Amino acid sequence: MDQRRSMVRAAAAALALALPLAMAGCGDSNNSSGDATKLRVLDYYNNEPDKGVYTKVLNDCASKNGVTIQREAVPGDTLIQKVLQQSSSRTLPDVLMLDNPDLQQIAATGALSPVTDYGLNADGVVPGVVAASTYKGKVYGLQPVTNTIGLFYNKDILAAAGVQPPTTWAELRTAAKKLTKGKQYGIGFSAPANYEGTWQFLPFMWSNGGDEKNIATPQVAEALQLWVDLLKDGSASKSVLNWTQADVADQFKAGNAAMMVNGPWQFPLLNENTALHYDVVPIPAPKAGGTSVAPLGGETWTIPNTGNKDKQKNAAKIVKCLNSDENELLLAKERQTVPTKLSLQDQFVADQPSMKAFSTLVKDARARTGELGADWPKAATKIYTGVQKALTGGAAPLKALQEAQNG
């Protein structure tokens, strides 16, 4: 998933329940006949910046491989429904982009063909990215770029307060307190009751040894207690319960938050304020010497089972081209993301030094579906439900998590 979107797709899990039946006849798709050099592509890059760069790259890939493409871009929160509709009518596209946590539930239906069937592989790719595109031991998608979240800080505000960027939870709480004054909060983050809230909480949960298989543990409760304490201290606005990541970025840009948890897709917005001097570091770990474990975002490109083997072979060429070294570097630069091939990291950071923290983070970052696969949405819902209950004072962290886990 590209985290610049709100991730509000509560209906996706319910729709997925109907997918296996709908997908059962995919081999008889309307695509099973026709000109194999004419491919249909479906993605959710429907705003101009994204659509522009991907249109260029897709067209270049098509030209290099002797095919033409018909591209359809839909809003992110409608993609799964679109896939369901197309599978039901047997009109799946030849190349399908998926938010990476959605891949496993779609692969489970039989709608996708393993990319390894076409001589493609994910060798040398960030391990967490490979895990996100793998279902039952087979790789079903290739992801050219990825993203994650880090801790942004206002260099001028921290310098004036004599505060160093925090590296531990204790330092984070102390720094946030010291940086809070007047209308300025020490830190901003996004904690709404949706997948976006879960995404932002995961670095704290995972870095403390928490696990999505069972969130009712002392490790997850301790992470949630940190968020509760930041609100109780007044270091974070109670509005975080409703803020999207875009809202948090607006607050940071305006100087109303000295630090924030967010992703590199906010760079263009922040850079509109030329008076804003900021930098990014990994989200603090629980204790000194600990590792910050962040979640991986981004989209993976797949080859649906349309029934037309020649089209599927040509679709594989497009997927391969999208994941070439040249295109990974281009897409990463244009979209404020990180190439997924480890061999490209040094070159990328040398060219894009502002992405250094994120390049470091993705190496140890985790796929959200790494443990639970297609059941991830259920766990994500439990997480944000427990977080909301604790932050609103409905229950102490451990009790809130127990109720969410058992709910």
Place 23 in a pLDDT band, splitting at 50, 70 and 90: very low
- Give the residue carrying structure tokens 């030329």: 274
Q: Which residues contact 127 (CB under 8 A, 6 or more apart)?
A: none
Give the pLDDT score at 3: 42
* Tokens 């649906």 found at: 304
CA distance 214 to 199: 16
Backbone angles phi, psi at 388, to 5 degrees: -60, -45
Q: Are 297 and 265 in contact (CB under 8 A)?
A: no
Q: CA 87 to CA 71: how far, in whole Å?
A: 17
Which runs of E-coded beta strand occur in 44-100?
68-73, 95-99
Write out the H or E segment, with its range, that includes residue 10.
none
* 11: its two tokens: 């209906």
Could you read off the pLDDT of 117-171 as tens digits, one per residue?
A: 999 999 999 999 999 999 999 999 999 999 999 999 999 999 999 999 999 999 9
Q: Report the share of the chain in percent with pLDDT over 90.
A: 80
Residue 24 has pLDDT above 60, yes or no: no
Nearest C-alpha neighbor of 221 from the set 372, 398, 389:
398
Query: Which pair of tokens denotes residue 134?
Result: 């793998």
Give CA–CA dist 356/104, Å, rounded: 30
Q: What's the whole-model pTM score?
A: 0.86
Ranges in the chain annotated CATH 3.40.190.10: 11-146+298-364, 150-294+372-406
Determine contact, residues 140/305, Cβ cutoff 8 Å. Answer: no
Give the distance between the most distant pair of CA atoms in the chain. Answer: 68
3-state helix, strand, coil in the chain (%, to 5): 50, 15, 35
Query: Is-contact 150 364, C-beta < 8 A?
Result: no
Residue 77 is predicted with a pLDDT of 85
pLDDT for 203-214, tens place per residue? Answer: 999 999 999 999
Taking only the tens place, the pLDDT of each residue in 341-374 is 999 999 999 999 999 999 999 998 999 988 888 8
pLDDT category of residue 32 using cuts at 50, 70 and 90 = low
Confidence at residue 11, expressed as pLDDT on a 0 to 100 scale = 42
Q: Which fold has domain 11-146+298-364?
A: D-Maltodextrin-Binding Protein; domain 2 (3.40.190)
Kindly report the CA angle at 280 between 282 and 161, in degrees rounded to 5? Answer: 105
Cα–Cα nearest to 288, from 152, 166, 176: 166
Do 368 and 297 contact (CB within 8 A), yes or no? no
Residue pLDDT, tens place only, 273-317: 999 999 999 999 999 999 899 999 999 999 999 999 999 999 999
Task: Name the residue type at position 352.
Answer: Q
Identify the architecture of domain 150-294+372-406 in CATH. 3-Layer(aba) Sandwich (3.40)
Distance of CA 127 to the CA centre of its chain: 15
State yes or no: pLDDT of 261 exceeds 80.
yes
Which uninterrupted H or E stretch holds 40?
strand 38-43
Residue 13 pLDDT > 50, yes or no? no
- pLDDT averaged over every residue in the chain: 91
- Residue 317 half-sphere exposure toward CB, CA atoms < 13 A: 20
CB atoms within 10 A of CB 88: 15
State phi, psi for 42 to the nearest 5 degrees. -125, 130
Residues 6+ apart with CB under 8 A from 182: none
The type of residue at 239 is S
Distances (CA, A) of 21 to 10, 14, 94, 106: 20, 13, 20, 12
pLDDT bin (cut points 50, 70, 90) of residue 14 is very low
Q: Is the pLDDT of residue 15 over 60?
A: no
Between CA 220 and CA 78 the distance in angstroms is 32
Q: How far is it, in rounded angstroms, from Cα 60 to Cα 380?
A: 37
Instruction: Report the C-alpha gap between 32 and 42 in whole angstroms.
Output: 17
